[in-house]
């Protein structure tokens, strides 16, 4: 399954470009599944700081891909001493927060500056957005509390139906 389909699935759970039939409770895993989406992303905005919900999902997806998938991103967090934070997003418990300075430390100034430039926002705003939404995306991509093996290559990311093997 390609990244585009996965990101579209996530967007469906946000109500961007998709919707539910109305038979499942809003915000539930069932509602996200009806939308073809991934549960856990209901807190993602339609637009934030001039960046659309679709652009935010794309931004998070690109960051994950640039690190070789979730395993590569996890390794980057480990190298910067933040593996417990990342692992909380993957696990089934509560997600630990990460602040914009920590995001800057993990991703590096240059990568954050490129993201900011691409979306026409200040690097500090880019770090803030990433710190708010990357945990939600990682959490949604790991609904079973573990990283799907396909993420090692970085060319695909799991969605709910893939993670149930």
Q: What is the DSSP string of 6-75?
A: HHHHHHHHHTSS----S-SPTTSHHHHHHTT--TT-TT--SEETTEEHHHHHHHHHHHHHHTTSHHHHHH
* Cβ 73 vs Cβ 67: under 8 Å: yes
Superfamily of domain 45-157: YidB-like (1.10.10.690)
Map out the domains of the chain as residue ranges.
45-157
Nearest C-alpha neighbor of 157 from the set 15, 43, 62, 27: 62
Burial of 164 from C-beta contacts in 10 A (0-12 / 13-18 / 19+): exposed
Residue with the larger pLDDT of the pair 103 and 42: 103
pTM of the model as a whole: 0.68
pLDDT (tens digit, 9 = 90+) per residue, 54-96? 888 888 888 898 888 999 999 999 999 999 999 999 999 999 9
List pLDDT tens digits, range 3-49. 555 555 655 554 444 333 334 333 333 333 333 444 444 444 444 55
């Amino acid at each position: 399954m390609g990244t585009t389909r996965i990101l579209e699935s996530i967007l469906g759970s946000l109500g961007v470009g998709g919707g539910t039939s109305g038979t499942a409770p809003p915000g539930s895993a069932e509602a996200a599944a009806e939308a073809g989406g991934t549960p856990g992303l209901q807190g993602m905005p339609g637009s934030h700081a001039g960046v659309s919900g679709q652009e935010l999902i794309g931004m998070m997806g690109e960051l994950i891909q640039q690190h070789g998938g979730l395993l590569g991103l996890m390794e980057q967090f480990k190298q910067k001493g933040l593996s417990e934070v990342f692992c909380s997003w993957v696990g089934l418990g509560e997600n630990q927060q990460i602040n914009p300075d920590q995001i800057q430390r993990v991703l590096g100034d240059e990568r954050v500056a490129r993201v900011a430039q691409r979306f026409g926002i200040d690097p500090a705003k880019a770090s803030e957005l990433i710190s708010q939404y990357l945990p939600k995306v990682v959490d949604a991509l790991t609904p079973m509390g573990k990283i799907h093996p396909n993420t090692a290559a970085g060319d695909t990311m799991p969605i709910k139906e893939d993670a149930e093997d």
